[in-house]
Chain A
Amino acid sequence: MNRPDQHVGAVIHQANFIAGNALEVPTLKVLAQDGSIYPNAALPEIDKDLALKIYDTMVFTRVLDERMVASQRQGRISFYMTCKGEEASIIGSAAALTDHDMIMAQYREHAALRYRGFTTANFMNQMFSNAKDLGKGRQMPIHYGSNELNYMTISSPLATQIPQATGYAYGQRLQGNQALTLCYFGEGAASEGDFHAGLNMAAVLKAPAIFYCRNNGYAISTSTDEQYAGDGIAPRGVGYGIETIRVDGNDCLAVLLATQEARKYALAHNKPVLIEAMSYRLGAHSTSDDPSGYRSKDEEELWAKIDGVQRFKLWLEQQGWWTEEQESERYQAYREEVLRELKVAEKIEPPSLQELVTDVYAEVPAHLSQQLEQLETHIAKYPSAYPSASKGAK
């Protein structure tokens, strides 16, 4: 036990403070912007199949984001958030996991869910809140979740999933089935108290969790200058006694390497790891946000030039695994698929009115049955005033 008077550091006799920026955290880079590998760079475990699965997910995510922003502008869905600029970071990290690992995300990580196998129809059903939505139409668009795919349902309150990931990983350790939890969050969310609670508890209680911070420069309009005074999120991990690494989030191979190594370490030692992925939120925060009010076009263009999707594509081409022809075919195919599934999903009826009161508890308690009954009687009296009556929900 480390007693306060028995710590391991040197003793000093002058009041010399440790500088707040004393810990210099280096950034892992593997892939250069021209698609070449840095000399002496370590490579992740990757083969053609994995590389193409990653890239396929990147293309799908770009297409989905583009189409759904347009759909929100047309008023077909109420809300949307893109992953634009962070695809390499999200997909590269998800690709380092096994399907048994739990993913607990914030909201800008639907590319990881796609990587796990969430179908285009699954995405559409959630966004259109229809009867086939796994979440029964209760949450805003982009709040996905899937038990089958080990992807915890998203909730809006920021950082709440961080201590939950610690608990989930602790449970996985006790079960001893060599699975862990990867927890995504933005650099803004890392200012919440739950970040502190979750990381400290994971370190102390030996939970095999990977905490994956997407540092994309902005929390809505708030730049990192207004979010923290230290050197980003990574040094905090060291402060909690957590193995920590910073990676170039636009470098898919660096992200994959860091996450693969983190996974091995976490499971071998029953300890958490913190990864801080540096990237840039190329899109608006959400469809309710206009970034021109707080950042310049020049800045956006600068980051668009070091886009992680483009970088990974150049590498694929240099491997001889991808061509321009395949590129345009794949984009075309996904554009058609997304549009087709969108049109199907928006015609599916909403969940039945009864679903309003199910799942509040495991069983529907008497008072909720009564409230539903009263509501049904009321709606029957004014059917034209309520969409559920006109859309044929029973």
Chain B
Amino acid sequence: MAEMNLLHAINNALDLAMADNERVLCFGEDVGHFGGVFRSTSGLQDKYGKDRCFNTPLTEQGIIGFANGLAAQGAVPIAEIQFADYIFPAFDQIVNETAKFRYRSGNEFDVGSLVIRTPYGGGIAGGLYHSQSPEAYFTGTPGIKVVVPRNPYQAKGLLMASIADDNPVLFFEPKRLYRAAIGEVPEEAYQIELGKAEVVSPGTDITLLGWGAQMEIIEKAAAMAAEQGISCEVIDLRTLAPWDVDTVAESVTKTGRLLISHEAPLTGGFAGEISATISDKCFLHLESPISRVCGLDTPYPLIQEKEYVADHLKIFEAIKASINF
């Protein structure tokens, strides 16, 4: 075990993957010698050479198109998009190409070895274009997996599983926690199974569900609720597509209440999908309406960030409203 922050854990996962398989390549904008604007690929070019860890020209559609071709050729590309806010130029390559490669060819070709890493989320005074959480644009696209870790241990294990997975994975990294989240991480390689939610802390009165950086905010609200005698079951979804319906449904069947919280705007956010599915699965067990505590339906603001975000106080109030319904 070693103490690592979230960036170190990601860097460590990339390092182990590159050491293990010479076909693993890391590339993107400023990923090479500089090691990335967040330093997640630090040292990899020195260790594995310029052919395996390199800068690309500044073109997101190019990075993902290139990555699709590499994956189809049999390499194991780990492409970085500098901020999730800038993934949209590559939307066509991801949605029409990456996601449909295997299906449309009848499995003659696939890009299953591809991983797209990208820092996402707010809380860093990033304004409109350094704060977005675009996961819901992708969860509605069959053919790709969507994964979001919440701490260094998760980040390494989920990233290593994503690299090993035989499907293209979109890996969202909570950049607010890159240096803030520190924890014990095994130095050797390990994987955390994709498609499985984790019950972070058991409870009996209400299920609180989230992912990524939102988990620490949800846990803070759960602690406030505990002081009021409310027992919260906290679940980290970890994989958003395909998501672990069974674990969530089992929890809600037990608690009778569900609150989902994410950073992205409410309308069209992934909480809507979860809410519809759980009301379908658990209709007779629900004792209050499913609650969604999310970002407002506005672009991500700069100066009013604190007001905008789904913080612990908003979640705490929603917990009480659900319990008192």
Cα–Cα distance between A197 and B102 once the two chains are bound (Å): 23
Cα–Cα distance between A362 and B107 once the two chains are bound (Å): 9
Shortest CB–CB separation between residue A236 and chain B, in angstroms? 15
Please state if A167 and B65 are interface contacts (CB–CB under 8 Å).
yes
Q: Does B56 contact A (CB under 8 A)?
A: yes
Q: What 0/1 readout, one digit per residue, does chain A (189-224) give for beta carbons within 8 Å of chain B?
A: 000011011101100110000000000000000000
Interface size counted on chain B using CB atoms at 8 A: 48
| Complex contacts, B105 vs chain A, CB 8 Å | 134-135, 145, 147, 153
Q: What 0/1 readout, one digit per residue, does chain A (50-75) give for beta carbons within 8 Å of chain B?
A: 00000000000000000000000000
Closest to A197 in B: B62
Q: What 0/1 readout, one digit per residue, does chain B (74-101) give for beta carbons within 8 Å of chain A?
A: 1101000000000001001100110011
Shortest CB–CB separation between residue B104 and chain A, in angstroms? 5
Q: Does B260 contact A (CB under 8 A)?
A: no
Cα–Cα distance between A35 and B9 once the two chains are bound (Å): 67
| Complex contacts, B301 vs chain A, CB 8 Å | none
Q: Contacts A135-B104, A160-B92, A168-B73 known; A200 to B65 CB distance under 8 Å? A: no
| Complex contacts, A358 vs chain B, CB 8 Å | 107
Please state if B245 and A163 are interface contacts (CB–CB under 8 Å).
no
Please state if B104 and A194 are interface contacts (CB–CB under 8 Å).
no
Shortest CB–CB separation between residue A173 and chain B, in angstroms? 8
Please state if B108 and A201 are interface contacts (CB–CB under 8 Å).
no
Q: Does A367 contact B (CB under 8 A)?
A: yes
Q: Does A165 contact B (CB under 8 A)?
A: yes
Cα–Cα distance between A157 and B103 once the two chains are bound (Å): 15
Q: Contacts A135-B106, A172-B73 known; A157 to B62 CB distance under 8 Å? A: no
| Complex contacts, B92 vs chain A, CB 8 Å | 157, 160
Bin the interface of chain A by size. Answer: 35 or more
Closest to A168 in B: B69
CB-contact partner of B69 in A135, A139, A163, under 8 A: A163
Task: Determine the main DSSP class of B at the interface with A.
Answer: mixed
Q: Contacts A166-B69, A193-B89, A197-B61 known; A360 to B103 CB distance under 8 Å? A: yes
Cα–Cα distance between A241 and B66 once the two chains are bound (Å): 19
Q: Does B67 contact A (CB under 8 A)?
A: yes
Shortest CB–CB separation between residue B34 and chain A, in angstroms? 15
Cα–Cα distance between A196 and B69 once the two chains are bound (Å): 16
Cα–Cα distance between A361 and B52 once the two chains are bound (Å): 27
Please state if A163 and B66 are interface contacts (CB–CB under 8 Å).
yes
Please state if A166 and B66 are interface contacts (CB–CB under 8 Å).
yes
Q: Does B68 contact A (CB under 8 A)?
A: yes
B interface, CB within 8 angstroms of A: 23, 25, 51-52, 54, 56-57, 59, 61-62, 64-75, 77, 89, 92-93, 96-97, 100-110, 112, 142-143, 145, 166-167, 195, 242, 245
Task: Supply 16 A–B pairs (Cβ within 8 Å), ascending by A.
Answer: A133-B106, A134-B106, A135-B105, A163-B66, A163-B68, A166-B62, A167-B70, A167-B73, A168-B69, A168-B72, A175-B73, A193-B61, A198-B66, A205-B66, A359-B102, A360-B102
